[in-house]
Amino acid sequence: DAKTTQPPSMDCAEGRAANLPCNHSTISGNEYVYWYRQIHSQGPQYIIHGLKNNETNEMASLIITEDRKSSTLILPHATLRDTAVYYCIVRAISGSARQLTFGSGTQLTVLP
């Protein structure tokens, strides 16, 4: 799986958009970009994933650059409950069952 790079921490004001970047410059054509988050002392929670088109669901939007070497997770109106570690992961759709490697993620702190 391709390696990802994320900033270790970010702050965001409550009610504002939180934009979390991720670099995956070695991504392959068959690899998806997944985002998970982990609220303190809980299991990781799936947020969104995409291949090359931008994606949106009830939780967030995922913007993938045209060359697919980076992506941005957008939480449109951050709340205090969005404070968590956010993980960006790339994984091949045809990858073996083992492949979900978490990096160190970005600690997002939403400030009141």
Partner 1 sequence: SQTIHQWPATLVQPVGSPLSLECTVEGTSNPNLYWYRQAAGRGLQLLFYSVGIGQISSEVPQNLSASRPQDRQFILSSKKLLLSDSGFYLCAWRRTGGDYGYTFGSGTRLTVV
Q: Which residues of the chain form contacts with partner 1 (CB under 8 A)?
A: 32, 34, 36, 41-46, 49, 51, 93, 97-98, 100-105
CB of 93 to partner 1, least distance (A): 5
Coil, strand or helix: which one is 32?
strand
Are 87 and 35 a contacting pair, CB within 8 Å?
Answer: yes
Tokens read off for 20: 């979390």
Number of other CB atoms surrounding residue 13 within 10 Å = 11
Distance of CA 109 to the CA centre of its chain: 15
CB of 8 to partner 1, least distance (A): 12
Q: Which of 13/102 has CB closer to partner 1?
A: 102
Q: Which of 19/38 has CB closer to partner 1?
A: 38
- Maximum separation of any 2 CA atoms in the chain, in Å: 42
CB of 3 to partner 1, least distance (A): 13
Q: Which of 17/100 has CB closer to partner 1?
A: 100
